[in-house]
Amino acid sequence: MNKPPFKETSMKRSPIPRLPEMAAACRAAAAAAMALGCASCNFAPKYERPPAAVPAAFKEAPAAADSDAAALRPSKPNDGAIRPKWWELYNDPVLNSLEEQVSVSNQTLLSSEANYRVSRALLVEARAALFPAVTTSPSVTRARSSATYSSSSGNASTAAVGGGGAPPGSIVNEYDLPFEATYTLDLWGRVRNSVAAARFSAQASAAELATATLSIQAQLADDYFQLRAVDEQRRILANTVASYRDTLALTQTLAKSGIDSDEDIATAQVQLDTVIAQATDVGVTRAQLEHAIAVLIGRPPAAVSVAPAPFSSSVPPIPAGIPSDLLERRPDIASAERQVAAANQNVGYARTAYFPSLNLAAEAGFETSKLAKLFDWPSRFWSVGPQLSGTLFAAGALRAANEQAEAEYDQAVANYRQAVLTAFQAVEDNLAGQRILAQEQQQQRTAVKSAERYLALTLTRYKAGIDSALNVATAQNTVLTSRETLVQVELREVDANIALVMALGGGWDTSQLPGTRSMVAREPKWSPAGKSGVPEAGPVQPPNPPAIEASGQSEH
């Protein structure tokens, strides 16, 4: 029985979509997948800043101390008192000039800034998983099939190398130009959690950069005021040398008149020579401080010279504010808190490993054995389809990964709370130090005046022949010791003042943390110390001031 002929329409194959149509379909599928991913589950715990023990007020603040101490350093809560350029509170142009060079020349900050850029790049890399990836891998292959295969095997072999109906043993060329688009649906929040964790880690890195900047700025200020204290000590020693020389001359005069002896002259000479040696030794400390300042501003020590200047011991009043504000004003606390947030997102990331992942893939391109026909329409090929993958058995690895993420979160919380406690300790320590040292400075000034009065009385009695040269030497040493102690107390008060500024955040607050938009935007590379990043050597400066010259043994 003859079969009826097929109709023409029944012999037509389903139309193959053209590349533009397939691309549009892929875009629609990707958009739908992204919408589905955005509306899907997220297994990360809802994040809240971990609670920490925050007192209502600082115990060592002047308002909590006795009225006399509070009167020494009046203070009112004022968050605007500390500004980013906090060193300008000390009204020292030389310090201002040095501090301005830290941010552009310090090599340690360059390293910290590069670490921040690494975290920014990791954020951009993590965000890329939110979008489809398109790849291509063009290839040219020349292959020879086996001539000893059976007919069916030979056909399979030649088909495998793109030879179509080429006979066994023939050599064929294959030209491929494929394009592949892949996209993973974020059904369980795996990608979103990784992006959030990367964002929080980048913010923590930015806070660490701010911490490093404040630390180096404070170190520079400490070294600078130590150098000024050494200049003051050197001035005191120079005045003492001049006074001791006058005493030696007086002793020689009294010895010639028979009032004093050679032993008294020898005592005065030893005292003078000892102070001269002490003044010379101070030069070692000054040179080291000057060299440290040079390194902090990113320059060779030979290129930096800080001229001697008077030591100003006056410190500005620093309002402590409210303890709860400290959580927003310390970059190290902000860094620890952002690390907690990142660890929280990593918990959600680890939980998604229990669920399968759905990948969408589409591939299209051209394939032929003849290069001239590579872009011909019959040479096209395409494929599209989803892929579901998941772990069925991992011998406890998934549970262990979740336990690890939760333990890391607990560790980050403990580190955050410890950072808060340490910050409160630093503020209390320096509030107490500033208040108590202010009292001690007043008392030490009184001690210096008493020592000077004692020396004046002793010299009067000595010139009258009533007192001995030994008592004069004792009084002079008392004055020198009292003056040097006063300088050290003044320096400690300045150091406590600087440390208090740092403990309160140095004018920083969490509003300076970068947002996602600024972190993923391409910014020019930070260029310290010139375009190459190499510090400028500069001309060689003269050495530190020479030591006080010795007078030599006096004749009598």
Distance (Å, whole) CA 169 – CA 157: 10
* Lowest mean per-residue pLDDT among 67-71, 290-294, 340-344, 542-546: 67-71
Domain residue spans of the chain: 91-131+188-311+331-355+411-521
Q: Could you tell me the pLDDT band of residue 548, with boundaries at 50, 70 and 90?
A: low
For the chain, give the mean pLDDT: 83
pLDDT value at residue 61: 83
As a three-state string, the secondary structure of 441-495 is: HHHHHHHHHHHHHHHHHHHHHHHCCCCCHHHHHHHHHHHHHHHHHHHHHHHHHHH
Q: With 80 as the cut, is the pLDDT of residue 166 above it?
A: no
pLDDT tens digits for 183-237? 989 889 999 999 999 999 999 999 999 999 999 999 999 999 999 999 999 999 9
Q: How far apart are CA 73 and CA 489, in angstroms?
A: 16
Model pLDDT, residue 479: 95
Mean pLDDT throughout 336-340? 96
Instruction: Give the pLDDT mean for 504-511.
Output: 92
Amino acid at residue number 481: T
Evaluate if residue 483 carries a pLDDT over 90: yes
pLDDT for residue 525: 59
Q: Is the pLDDT of residue 16 over 70?
A: no
Share of the chain above pLDDT 70, in %: 81
Would you state the pLDDT for residue 28? 53
Q: What's the Cα-to-Cα distance from 152 to each of 128, 158, 159, 167, 355, rounded to whole Å?
A: 46, 10, 11, 11, 43
In whole angstroms, what is the distance from residue 519 CA to residue 201 CA? Answer: 11
User: Could you tell me the two tokens for 349?
Assistant: 């990331």
**Proportion of the chain above pLDDT 90, given as a percent:** 58
- Determine the Cα–Cα distance for residues 62 and 68; give it in Å rounded to an integer: 9
Query: Which pLDDT score, from 0 to 100, does residue 196 have?
Result: 94
What's the CATH number for 91-131+188-311+331-355+411-521? 1.20.1600.10
Which pLDDT score is estimated for 538? 65
Considering only 42-56, 62-76, 132-146, which range has the smallest mean pLDDT?
Answer: 62-76
Instruction: Name the least confident of 131-140, 340-349, 529-538.
Output: 529-538
The pLDDT, as a whole number, for residue 98 is 95
The closest of 246, 301, 253 to 271, measured between CA atoms, is 246
Q: pLDDT band at residue 68, thresholds of 50, 70 and 90?
A: very low
pLDDT: is 551 or 82 the higher one?
A: 82
Out of 49-58, 252-261, 295-304, pick the least confident: 252-261
Give the mean model confidence (pLDDT) for residues 175-189.
91
Comparison of pLDDT for 44 and 150, the residue scoring more: 44
Rounded mean pLDDT, 511-533: 71
Q: How far apart are CA 39 and CA 374, in angstroms?
A: 42
Rounded-to-integer distance, Cα 450 and Cα 506, Å: 39
